[in-house]
Structure 1
């Protein structure tokens, strides 16, 4: 009884989970969700070098797979995961595409394994393994380790080598950032949920005026085009590299923890206990299958999106048909050649400007988790765990034995998990 009251609906929905919208409204309602996820979903392939059309296709089909696996009960949209940006960049700099995509596929398999374990034995073991004192600092590492990438994109013509400092780039990045901040702080309703998209649009206009946008690829691109995807055995040879897999797996535990947090928020908004029906295990397995599919076509891993959860809260429209409609539109856009070419033409300082905010928000989210969970840093145990995670992750410490490497945030997550298990807790 107490458990049911926890998820009791306080606001009557405009459309409930299994209610269909009117045909005239359906496309508009789905477009809202597409806009909400779009900026962040496109940013991940933009940063990692993976195809943008593959990310859109993976996002759409991955969401439909998630809906299928969760029995069309959970209104959640899946987009590109930020947590895997650094591991993908690191992996592709030293390994083949086949190595990387197999490692990403195995991270999806790990999701499925965790989902099965939750079904068999509950969630207690995972919460014991990943308390806030571990997850919070790891999330901070994810954001802070990406900070140089955002700053370099905002300043340099060649951000990878930090060459060609350009004041025009910096101006465009600041226009993009300020626009995003103004929308985030002063806009109300739905517009407050798409500050990244609005920031990118304004930044793109500014970049066009200042002459740093190349429209030639857009003009050459055809309207209808097969998405740029990487298929195993056709475009690359899959290969199993243990070091890369070990790089990904600790990140999976952190993203699963975030997934559970998102699920708790959706439960409260919609007023149902999705942990029980269709079950948390189905939600996590759905996320894993989506990630596995994304890796098979060269897209980034997926995750449930907070921006789309915000759309649910504001509109009070929880319809799974609306979420599915957004997924279908994303799939269609992946086949529009001029659209993907237009996205690819966005200059790096525009993405650098929004990244300054987004990566900072990731780091701040980890800090917020520590504050909201009331982690006591007067207790030396907590201080030690957080300190080691931060320095190992941001310092990019590497553990390398016979070519098997674990480094950066993966090693930070692993260190935090081990320290949490072995360090004695303070007596009550």
Structure 2
């Protein structure tokens, strides 16, 4: 570490420090990235491969100036299953490519018209709310994976909760008290400790252990080429519009990174480059057989805790992700990280993201005695925390606007519509 208490975006660290820091990012994102192909029937190893390549494409597109990790997008799960089951995986991939091209086209338009409109559409009161909401919207997932939710059916609940508590405790203790290099890898240490404890108490399923032990040393991810025919038109019509929804999520994530790192990446290297990187990553995934991609909040949480913002560390995680997609036992080990381990660190990581949103309120001195601010924040928060979903049809095409995107869109509309006036005493 440098004398200052953070590692900046452009800084390189020795390889001995970079590898564990990169592993920390890989472990933080892998649970969600692997879950998408598991839910949609796509090869998990391809998700790892596309995540790594997609992150490198993103870094290239953003001139190495934005430390963001690319992983599988949850927004497309329903569309992937619908198109894949009705037609084929190859046809579905044509829709993934179309979604990526939407991002690329939007990036081109933003390059031409500039980003001044962002300041008007997304002032701090909206950005802070959306950033906080990104963390809060993941709270239920973390709590459920940790075994705390009574609504979920969890076997060996006491042991699952024990692992989650130990994992979370180590992450908190490490973040607070570790010194030197250990202070920047508390999440990695916590997840490894939680994994080892999971083996000791016996909550790792036998089939998972068998998969890890019997996996071939070297494997080639299952590549699938896209197919373009008449059915592809339907795939494009169903999947391309979802990209407009996830654009709002992408911008929200970028503002979280802005808040954590202390830079305005919408200006340098520019929002258009960030969106372009996401579009290139998704287009590449569609060309080889992976799921659509997006920037990941889990990795933003890791940066907030470690204060290591180096894009070289992110690139290292991307390279490790690619390598591990070819190593059977390692890919299986990562794939089978126990849920309470992910849930335990998730409670801290997602909470840190939410706190970043509240920090924006403080830094920009948002006045909550202003009725306008109060309404905007209240509506965004409740729509998001309540996991509001808007479903409708455009002709015969089903369209779903999910939680974060819907809350962001409503927040932007309220900001543009509500007059700036009057204060109320609370």
TM-score range, shorter chain: 0.7 to 0.9
Counterpart-to-counterpart distance in 2, 1:331 and 1:178: 31
Q: In the alignment, is residue 372 of structure 1 matched against residue 369 of structure 2?
A: no
The correspondence of residues 270-285 of structure 1 with structure 2, limited to 5 A, is 275=267, 281-285=272-276
Aligned to 1:286: 277
1:193 aligns with 2:184: yes
Q: Does 1:207 align with 2:189?
A: no
CA gap of 1:299–1:250, structure 2 versus 1, over 3 A, is: closer
1:56 to 2:48 alignment: yes
Alignment partner for residue 143 of structure 2, among 151, 156, 178? 151
Instruction: Kindly indicate whether the alpha-carbon contact (under 8 Å) linking 2:27 and 2:191 is maintained by their aligned counterparts in 1.
Output: yes
Q: Deviations over 1:60-91 (max 9, x none)?
A: 21233234434xx4254542459x54x35666
Shift of 1:244: 6.2
Q: 2:83, 2:139 → 1: CA distance?
A: 23
Q: State the 1:34 CA deviation.
A: 1.8
Matches within 5 A, 1:258-277: 258-259=253-254, 262=257, 275=267
State whether residues 140 and 362 of structure 1, in contact with CA within 8 Å, keep that contact through their aligned partners in structure 2. yes
- 1:170 CA drift (Å): 0.9
Equivalents in 2 of 1:369, 1:206: separation in Å?
38
- State the Cα RMSD in Å: 4.1
Identify the residue that residue 130 of structure 1 maps to in structure 2.
122
Q: Does 1:115 align with 2:99?
A: no
Q: Structure 1 residue aligned with 2:58, among 66, 69, 90?
A: 66
CA contact (8 A) 1:37 1:307 kept: no
Residue by residue over 1:265-318, the C-alpha shift from the partner in whole angstroms, topping out at 9 and shown as x without a partner, is 76869xxx9946x65533442233123324553245243754786799769xx6
- Find the aligned partners of 1:14 and 1:404 in 2 and give their Cα distance: 42
CA contact (8 A) 1:41 1:55 kept: no
Q: Contact between 2:187 and 2:302, CA under 8 Å: does it hold in 1?
A: no
Give runs of aligned pairs for residues 59-98 of structure 1, distance below 5 A. 59-70=51-62, 73-80=63-70, 84-85=73-74, 87-88=75-76, 96=84
Match of 1:141 in 2: 133
> Structure 1 280/412 Cα, relative in aligned 2: closer, same or farther at 3 Å?
closer
Separation of aligned partners in 1, 2:30 and 2:354: 20
SS in structure 1 at match of 2:235? coil
Alignment correspondent of 2:216? 222
Whether 1:386 aligns to 2:377 is yes
1:45 aligns with 33
Mapped partners of 1:246, 1:319: distance in 2: 31
Identify the match of residue 399 of structure 2 among 389, 400, 404: 404
1:33 and 1:308 in contact (8 A); partners too: no
Partner residue, 1:416: 411
> CA offset at residue 370 of structure 1?
2.3
Answer yes or no: is 1:34 the counterpart of 2:39. no
| Conservation of the 8 A alpha-carbon contact between 1:394 and 1:409 | no
In the superposition, relative to structure 1, how do residues 49 and 186 fare at CA in structure 2: closer, same or farther (>3 Å)?
farther
**Aligned residue pairs, count:** 399
Aligned to 1:6: none
Distance 1:14 1:171 in 2: 34
Q: CA deviation at 1:359?
A: 2.4
Distance in 2 (alpha carbons) for counterparts of 1:142 and 1:233: 35
Query: Using a 3 Å threshold, how does the CA distance of structure 1 residues 192 and 101 change in structure 2: closer, same or farther?
Result: farther
Contact 1:91 1:244 in 2 (8 A): yes
Contact residue 79 and residue 238 of structure 2 kept, 8 A: no
Mapped partners of 2:49, 2:116: distance in 1: 35
- The 3-state SS of whatever aligns with 1:255 is helix
Q: Relative to structure 1, is the Cα distance of residues 121 and 366 closer, same or farther in structure 2, using a 3 angstrom cutoff?
A: same
Q: Measure how far apart 1:222 and its partner are.
A: 0.4
Give the equivalent residue in structure 2 for 1:5. none
Task: Give runs of aligned pairs for residues 232-311 of structure 1, distance below 5 A.
Answer: 232-233=226-227, 239-240=234-235, 249-259=244-254, 262=257, 275=267, 281-294=272-285, 296=287, 297-299=289-291, 301-303=293-295, 305-306=299-300
Q: Give the Cα separation in 1 of the matches to 2:168 and 2:391.
A: 38
Are the counterparts in 1 of residues 99 and 239 from structure 2 also a CA contact under 8 Å?
no
Deviation at 1:225, TM superposition (A): 0.6
SS at structure 2 position matched to 1:185: helix
Q: How does 1:339-354 map to 2 (within 5 A)?
A: 339-354=330-345
Structure 2 residue matching 1:405: 3-state secondary structure = strand
Note the C-alpha offset of 1:420. Answer: 1.2
Gaps of 5+ in 1: 1-9
What's the TM-score, normalizing by structure 1? 0.76
- Report the alpha carbon displacement of residue 190 of structure 1 after superposing the two structures with TM: 3.7
CA separation of 1:81 and 1:359: change in aligned 2, threshold 3 A: farther
Query: Structure 1: how far apart are the matches of 2:368 and 2:237?
Result: 36
